[in-house]
Amino acid sequence: MGTTSPLKQQPHSFTKKLIAWTLYALLPIALLRLYFYPIPLPQSLTDQLPHNDPIIITTSSSSSPQEEERADEIACDYTNGKWVHDKLGPLYNGTSCGTIKDGQNCIIHGRPDLGYMNWRWKPKQCQLPRFDPNSFLQLLQNKHLAFVGDSMARNQLESLLCMLASVSPPDLVYQDGGDNKFRRWNFASHNINVSIYWSPFLVKGLEKSNNGPNYNKLYLDSVDERWAMDMNHIDMFVLSIGHWFLHPAVYFEGDSVLGCHYCPGLNHTEIGFFDVFRKAIKTTLKTIIERRGANANAIDVIVTTFSPSHFEGDWDKAGACPKTKPFKEGEKPLEGMDADMRKIEVEEVEAAKANAKQFAGLRLEALDVTKLSLMRPDGHPGPYMNPFPYANGVTDRVQNDCVHWCLPGPIDTWNEILLEVMKRWKGQSRKGG
């Protein structure tokens, strides 16, 4: 279907790319509609959110040069490694924590094989310690951590909350937006706030809806103020986006239309979503640097890289992501869209680091989870996005989620690495970035 007229005038490589965009777009459109059904945009969050006074974070002066060196030494490349069997298993289960989204609560939904919970990530050159909730809470003491992004941000947030709750149960202190899109928890034990802001593009956007256009509108030169307006009250961001960029969309820059992705019937130029994705991240990081760089309060920004999905068959047929074991080292190369999306994020974080160099209080890092996640085809809910999908036998059609991750599951590892980044930062001087 992707090979008709508009492609014919294009050079071959572009044609190939365009076919790829179209293919990437089609399956997820049907699928994502299931998960991300549109809701009306909520009113300004800050009208209702209680705000704390800005927190002054004392910088660096306490860490000695030796400590800095040690911190550099232990900086490990977490991206390359393998999954090894782990007897210990997860820190939580499907009932010990009240915040797991139904569709990701695989144990409770009757997933029969539970071996997927007994793997730990072993980076090539170092050890990745088991998540220590107490260390995390100590490092985050008196701070506000905000996850911003799409349902993958929520998936990671819920993993973190479940692990932290194993030592200190948080209170849900704020909730707004359908489907739990905006929430905040408080850990009274450590004066910590953890928030989630729904913002699937990070930049300003209008999500497609049943009663509006069936494509997204993205405004690539301004950030989404639903989260950005709270920026002065946030000490650490975890930004996580990606899959929403595969949807049909029209892209704006300033007052003009830049182009579109998969918008037959609209008279706009197809430009795919890779460059647009880059622009969205660039605008986001640039805005954070502009607004917070020169600010006396320190801020840390983590960008979680693209999370691969694992569809092997039709999304609505049994066995869409049937694997029950991780890939072995070298078995599954990182390539195609997964590789391209990750690369864009890593590059933009590096570019932003260079731009923020003069600001001692602003630190950025990519949480590079794409490869290790790619190696976990076994970690998705699949049919267990719904409770007991085979209670009446195997039916013709069954919805599958091969995008999000079961909780507990491989996504817990993302937060283990996040903790290591925070520990490394703690041991480093903020001076010189």
Ligand X SMILES: *[C@@H]1O[C@H](CO)[C@@H](O)[C@H](O)[C@H]1NC(C)=O
Among 109, 111, 120, 144, binds ligand X (CB under 6 A): 144
Q: Which is nearer to ligand X, 32 or 165 (CB)?
A: 165
As measured in angstroms, the least distance from the Cβ of 174 to ligand X is 7
As measured in angstroms, the least distance from the Cβ of 297 to ligand X is 11
Q: Which is nearer to ligand X, 92 or 245 (CB)?
A: 92
Active site annotation includes 159: no
Q: Which is nearer to ligand X, 186 or 287 (CB)?
A: 186
Active site annotation includes 404: yes
Among 65, 267, 391, 393, binds ligand X (CB under 6 A): 267
Does 50 participate in binding ligand X (rule CB under 6 A)? yes
Does 143 participate in binding ligand X (rule CB under 6 A)? yes
Active site annotation includes 85: no
Q: Hey, CA dihedral for 170, 172, 173, 179, is it positive or negative?
A: positive
Does 168 participate in binding ligand X (rule CB under 6 A)? no
3-state secondary structure of 203: strand
Strand pairing category for 192-198 and 144-149: parallel
Question: 179-198: which residues touch ligand X (CB under 6 A)?
Answer: 186, 191, 193
Residues ≥6 apart with Cβ < 8 Å to 268: 250, 257, 259, 260
Binding mask 92-111 for ligand X (x = CB under 6 A): -x-xx---------------
Q: How far from 405 is each of 8, 74, 105, 379, 425, CA to CA, in Å?
A: 39, 29, 9, 6, 28
3-state secondary structure of 95: coil
**Contact assessment for residue 345 and residue 281, using Cβ atoms and an 8 Å cutoff:** yes
Q: Which is nearer to ligand X, 210 or 256 (CB)?
A: 256
Count the site residues for ligand X by CB under 6 A.
13
As measured in angstroms, the least distance from the Cβ of 148 to ligand X is 16
Q: Which residue is at the shortest CB distance from ligand X?
A: 52
As measured in angstroms, the least distance from the Cβ of 112 to ligand X is 14
Question: 300-339: which residues touch ligand X (CB under 6 A)?
Answer: none
Cα 85-155-130 angle, rounded to 5 deg: 35
Q: What residue type is assigned to position 312 of the chain?
A: E
Catalytic option among 151, 195, 240, 307:
151
**Contact assessment for residue 164 and residue 116, using Cβ atoms and an 8 Å cutoff:** no
For every residue of 270-331, DSSP letters joined together read: B--SHHHHHHHHHHHHHHHHHHHTTSSS-EEEEEEPP------S-TTSTTSS---SPPPTTT
Does 392 participate in binding ligand X (rule CB under 6 A)? no
Q: Which is nearer to ligand X, 194 or 372 (CB)?
A: 194
Tell which residue, 353, 342, 336, has the closest CA to residue 285. Answer: 353
Catalytic option among 195, 404, 412, 429:
404
CA atoms within 13 A on the CB side of 248: 16
Question: 215-254: which residues touch ligand X (CB under 6 A)?
Answer: none
As measured in angstroms, the least distance from the Cβ of 143 to ligand X is 5
Tell which residue, 107, 367, 130, has the closest CA to residue 241. Answer: 367
Does 44 participate in binding ligand X (rule CB under 6 A)? no
Tell which residue, 159, 164, 186, has the closest CA to residue 50. Answer: 186
Among 173, 271, 334, 339, binds ligand X (CB under 6 A): 173
Contact footprint for ligand X (CB under 6 A)? 50, 52, 93, 95-96, 142-144, 173, 186, 191, 193, 267
Catalytic residue numbers, as ranges: 151, 401, 404
